[in-house]
Structure 1
Amino acid sequence: METERVKCLIIGSGPAGYTAAIYAGRANLAPVLYEGLQPGGQLTTTTDVENFPGYPEGISGPQLMDDLRKQAARFGADLRFGVATAADLSKAPYRITIDDEKVVEADSLIIATGATAKYLGLEDEKKYAGIGVSACATCDGFFYRKKVVAVVGGGDTACEEATYLASLASKVYLIVRKPYLRASQIMQERVLNNEKIEVLFEHNAVGLYGEGGVEGVHLVKRMGQPDEERYDKAIDGFFLAIGHQPNSDIFKPYLQTDETGYIQTEAGTPRTNVPGVFAAGDVADPHYRQAITAAASGCKAAIEAERYLLAQGLK
């Protein structure tokens, strides 16, 4: 298998990966970045980004990521297509296998592989992606001011998203599969005491409908029971809040992760438990998951990588 040695390897190409590449390039680390399955990351599936500083009129997700990509290339980052398929972080240099056919040995490694929102698996979720279907209320809630939306989920995240959306939308339906909420008591109380939120217990969303965007949801109450009911409800937006899956599987044998798989870092830093290996963006962030926080952590990771390489006499 072909082997290559690099000073700084970045895996992932969302705001964290590209920002790390910008900083590492400016620091003369000759960074190599592999863009993964979805070059540009989750933001490429977002139509309008209105909360990234510096764009008063907003910018499309794909355009923002293209701008970041060009900036990274301008400072000498070597941007490549390819997916990390295996990792050996047992000793430096760290070995990352790309597309099962090439090994890159890295003196320092920045993991910015992101997290994937969990979906119900409905065909309609793909059909209406970006035109009524979202997995981020903080990102897209503003577009539904004074409109009617539905949130799917029964945990803390779902309750938090429903409460946030209730501050913008005219009505929020919380679609909960079980006859109870799994959320913490305080989050349950916030939802149940909010007059704008209606909780639909024992409901499953089985489809969406609408011309050119979401206009409603197909619901089933008490699915599979003798008293099963099927009906439609008119909505303008459909929000998934059933969790995210961090893309960290190949690194788990070597790095500390939480029970969901988010890579754990030293408080306030992108440093992992392996020296010279840093985690940035959503793969290490179960709390915020915003483009701006991912970009900031990518900056931190590149600065830490430079300091590590200097300390090791590798720069």
Structure 2
Amino acid sequence: MENQSVSEFILMGFSVGRQAEILLACLFLAMYVISMAGNMTVLSIVLTDSRLHSPMYFFLSNVSVLDILFTSVISPQLLWNLFSNDKSISFSGCMAQSYFYFFLGTVEFLLFTSMSYDRYAAICKPLQYHAIINGRVCIQMLLGSWLGGFLSVLCPTIMITRLSYCRSNVINHFFCDSGPLLDLSCSDTHFIELMDFLLSSLVVLCSLVLTLVSYTYIISAILRISTTTGRSKAFNTCASHLTIISISCGITIFIYITPSQKETLEVHKVPAVLTTIVCPFLNPFIFTLKNDNIKQAIREALRRNIQLITQKTMSF
């Protein structure tokens, strides 16, 4: 990826002093490390514990993979910019960051929709569940999510790389978001803005509508369960997923689907921090705290590791 009008961009970041930047960098670094460790723990537990080899945990492990990739697209560059005070990023690096940010974000929304259908089948059609959601269907939904994300973001990104950036190379953001990038171009960007708006609306609103329809049936089925314990168990399997998709959809609608206002770019940095850093940090905890099977698997894994360490220590 090359562009004749610009070779690099400057990421303005946050409008705070140098000391505040260092504090933010330390906070973001801690959250990034914990996010990586938490998601890797969930992924390893699901892969190694045979009791978790089911469609629900298959999707959950893929969410962990997406969170690892998603936060790694933004956080390393952001941390470098904050710690070193070097705010530059190459043109190709900027375009790659922008593409993978939207690509992985779209995949995650589509995967959340697949998870809602899985929960619908499990709770509303328990007798037919294994026939409806089998290994082949899970792979098809996963591949469909990745393919949908790849195709929906590819064309707008290619068009953005071909724009002329003659106004400035200073991006008023902490990463290469499409809105601030289009604001720098002296080319006609109306078609790209319209395409971004329509694609974002299609992905987010369709995902939200399908999820709401699924959960309407799910909640109706849960309320018909006679025992309090059964209702609580069924609700706990869905609460974490519903919480995360509500937060993600709300933030995305606020940033990308509401009518764009250039004067609000500074305001958009706060919810952008939530999606790129805070949500991948919270996701493994939200899923773990609401899931007894994962908590039990983690406790057993910790117990086994402690026993192995104790045995090795005693052998010496």
- Specify the TM-score bucket, using the shorter chain as the normaliser: 0.3 to 0.5
Identify, as 1 or 2, the structure richer in strand.
1
Identify, as 1 or 2, the structure richer in helix.
2
User: TM-score of the superposition, structure 2-length normalised?
Assistant: 0.33
User: TM-score of the superposition, structure 1-length normalised?
Assistant: 0.34
